Every structure is written in structure tokens, then in C-alpha cells.
Amino acid sequence: MIPARFAHAVFGLIMSGLMSCIVTGIATVKAVGFGSSTLGDWMGSWAFCWPIAFAVILTLGPTVKRMVEGWVRPQG
């Protein structure tokens, strides 16, 4: 098991991977269409974007969480 202190990093890794995969896939198909090189172009784009997305989530995630907590009324 992964220690709880790494929860934010693990969440960021998974969320950034999923989101960057989906977004780069859509953007790649929109830019170049479906073809024999689409998968390779997509994977290249994803490999470039995933570390950036991960860094953004780790850096801005706590600030966004605080903003949302300020906007949302506590339940109960």
C-alpha cells in the first residue's frame, strides 16, 4: 500500500494521465484525422503533455481545492 501522505501525488498522476490521454487523443484526431500515423502522433503528444499536466495538478491542485472549498457551502 502507498502511504496516505502520497495521496495527492497519486491522484495527480492518475488524473493527469487520464485527462491528458483523452485531450491529446481528441486534439490529435482533430488536427490530423484518422490515419496510419494517428496512434503514433497521439502517443507522442501524450508523452509530451502528461508530465506537464502532472506538474500543473501538483502545483495548482491545492489552490484550486481551497477555491472550491470557499465557493461550496458545507453539507449539513
Q: Which of 66, 43, 53, 42 is nearest to 11 (CA)?
A: 53
Residue 72 region, left (φ>0) first, then alpha (ψ -120 to 50), else beta? beta
Please check the confidence at residue 75 and state whether its pLDDT lies above 90. no
The answer to whether the CB of 23 falls within 8 A of the CB of 48 is no
Q: How far apart are CA 43 and CA 51, in angstroms?
A: 13
31 confidence band (pLDDT: 50, 70, 90): very high
The pLDDT score that the predictor gives to residue 42 is 97
Mean pLDDT along residues 17-39: 96
The pLDDT score that the predictor gives to residue 74 is 87
Please check the confidence at residue 39 and state whether its pLDDT lies above 90. yes
